[in-house]
Structure 1
């Protein structure tokens, strides 16, 4: 394990850019996983990261020590930082003190959509996106397509909200969603308050594409035109609408329920 103590160290400067600049992460094709749970999930699903960074105090933590010492991480470059330097990288308050630097996958859009997928149009909130990814993975959905205007799926905040779901999904970013939907061989569903058909009246024991949009504006008109069905989620009239992440979870697990029965 290499110990770095200077802020002027070139590797530390590179890590600092990755931690603080979205543009640097995009250019490098890398991101940071912050915390024991995310790092454990990554190593279990995908193996060694490019770099493992720990704080000096974290080495006394049993979980961190076991993870750093595991044979799964033999291929990783291991860096130890004084706590003060480590804290300039981490966005987690009172965190344990371990993070991974990992590559962000670039995937080609499939030639056709034949299994259940999620299309996300312009989501802005990292917590919402991370929650949707987590629900999708839990529901057994593998493919998620994000528009150019959607927050980066691999940003540290989305990664934390996803709680490891990223490593079970195929995430496609900066997609032309109209073109994606043109490739669909299965029904395309969108939620709407302007329909009487509830999600519980829909036939979901088959693959479908789920569409969800911007927190305030919803799905664009161009994409709504691609929907083969709109459904509504019954709720009290006093509440105007559900949070998009909550809506997605209800849709995904109603589909799971129908498939199980």
Structure 2
């Protein structure tokens, strides 16, 4: 294990860029996984990281020691940092001092939309994006397509909200959504408050594409016009609308409910 004690160390400067700049993460094709849970999930689903970084005060923490031991077994470069240098990288308050540097996964882009997927049009909030990814993975959806204006899926905030869901999904960013939807082989469903058909009246016992949009403006008119149908989630009139992450979760698990109901008949 290598020890770095200076802020001027070239490798530490590289880590600091990745920790503080979304542009640097996108350009380098790398990101940070902060905390024991994300590190363990990465090991479980994708293998060894590029670097394992540990805060000096956490070396004897049982969970951190286990992650460190596994990293060393996998011949990952392990770095020990003084607490002050580690905290400058971490965005987690009172977290356990371990993180990974990983190459951002780049799955093969499908030739056509033929399996249940999520399409996100200009979704802005990292917490919402992470929650949608977590719900999608839990519901067994595999593909997520993000427009150029959508929050960076591999940012630390989105990663924390996703709680390891990223490693179970094929995530595609900067996607030309009109071109993607024009090539869909399955129904495209968009949520709307201006329709009468509820998700509970819709046939979700099939592969579908779920289309969600910006937190305030919703799905763009161009993409909405490409939806096979629009559906609504019944709610009390006193509430203007549901949070997009909550709406997505309700849609995903109504699809799961219908599929399970068919299997048990």
TM-score (norm 1): 0.98
Q: How is 1:199-238 mapped onto 2 (pairs within 5 angstroms)? A: 199-238=199-238
Matching residue of 2:198: 198
Is the 8 Å Cα contact of residues 113 and 185 (structure 2) preserved in structure 1? yes
Measured against aligned partners, the alpha-carbon deviations of 1:3-43 in whole angstroms (never above 9, x if no partner) come to: 11111111001000100011111111000000000000001
Is the 8 Å Cα contact of residues 71 and 78 (structure 2) preserved in structure 1? no
Q: Does 1:27 align with 2:27?
A: yes
RMSD: 1.0
CA–CA distance in structure 1, aligned partners of residues 246 and 155 of structure 2: 21
Q: How is 1:1-261 mapped onto 2 (pairs within 5 angstroms)? A: 1-70=1-70, 73-261=73-261
CA–CA distance in structure 1, aligned partners of residues 85 and 252 of structure 2: 42
Q: Deviation at 1:128?
A: 0.1
TM-score (norm 2): 0.97
The aligned length equals: 261
Distance change (3 Å), C-alpha of 1:20 and 1:179: same
**Structure 2 residues not aligned, in runs of 5+:** none
Q: Deviation at 1:87?
A: 0.4
Q: Deviation at 1:247?
A: 0.1
Measured against aligned partners, the alpha-carbon deviations of 1:28-60 in whole angstroms (never above 9, x if no partner) come to: 100000000000000111111000000011111
**Structure 1 residues not aligned, in runs of 5+:** none
